[in-house]
Amino acid sequence: MKYPFVATLVAAHFFTLLLTTGSRLFACTGDFAHQNATDAPQASPDGIGKFHMGREIAKVMGHEGIDWLERDSREDEEASSRGTAALELKPNDVVADIGAGSGYHTFRIAPLVRQGRVMAVDIQPEMLAFLEARAKELGYSNVEPHLGAIDGVRLPAESIDLALMVDAYHEFSHPAEMLQSLMEALRPGGRIVLLEYRAEDPKVPIKRLHKMSEIQIRKELEAAGFVWKKTCDFLPWQHLVVFEKPRNHPSRDSVLPH
């Protein structure tokens, strides 16, 4: 080589550049990792900080909210009787009211299924105690309070004809597991009905995380294997969205190894 000192100088400069760039590269990688950690979604005031399919899960309404559930203005605000009529129940249907709370809807369904029953499912014993006392007071022997879990309804396989969730699904901390549990509990062709406050309507006076859009509802239920049948928007504040369990859906026992 005609100018060996030039090659040596270039090599030394390249080595220094590599060390400098490499240290910066590693520093940036660490910075990005730190940034990703600090940029993780934080819980909003009404949420639990857990997300499902792009939606933050809302905090659960505790039993302290019974008075709000039983408020005198609820029928005028939500037209609950119209929602119950739209369920098109048969007298011998077995209905699960999931997240039954105080039993506001349970006791509107009970007289429509006199030969059937209503499984009033909740995870709060205080709610179930209130509901049981109310059932005795009203004389409904076909209402059965039932303690569920955060990740399942704990109902026998293929034991219900309809699962109703009124302003409850958006609070489930384990929505995928709950939907799988409901899929197993429903009979083939059984229905699952959600009433959720319409997120598309800014005039609905409910906190953001306690509303759901039809698009989001369908995305989550269809991902769980339910078949969308219809959406009704005749209620003042809520969607009424109906899904069906496929009639050819395998039962849990049929997919377990023998």
Give the tens place of pLDDT for each residue, 140-160.
Answer: 999 999 999 999 999 999 999
Dist CA 146 CA 159 (whole Å): 14
**Banded pLDDT at 21 (limits 50, 70, 90):** very low
CA 102 from centroid of its chain's CA atoms: 19
Backbone angles phi, psi at 243, to 5 degrees: -125, 165
Helix (H, G, I), strand (E, B) or coil at 222: helix
Q: What are the domain boundaries of the chain?
A: 1-40, 52-255
Instruction: Tell me the average pLDDT across 168-175.
Output: 98
Helix, strand, coil shares of the chain as percentages rounded to 5?
40, 25, 35
Residue 226 contacts residue 179 (beta carbons within 8 Å): yes
Dist CA 143 CA 132 (whole Å): 8
The structure tokens listed for 59 are 């905090």
Q: Which has more pLDDT, 248 or 12?
A: 248
| pLDDT at residue 7, rounded to an integer | 42
Element (H, E) at 215: helix 214-223
| CATH number belonging to domain 52-255 | 3.40.50.150
| CA-based radius of gyration for the chain | 27
**Banded pLDDT at 14 (limits 50, 70, 90):** very low
pTM strictly above 0.85: no
Task: Enumerate long-range contacts of 125-131, CB under 8 Å, 24 or more apart.
Answer: 126/63, 127/63, 127/66, 127/100, 127/101, 127/102, 130/63, 130/66, 130/102, 130/103, 131/100, 131/101, 131/102, 131/103, 131/106
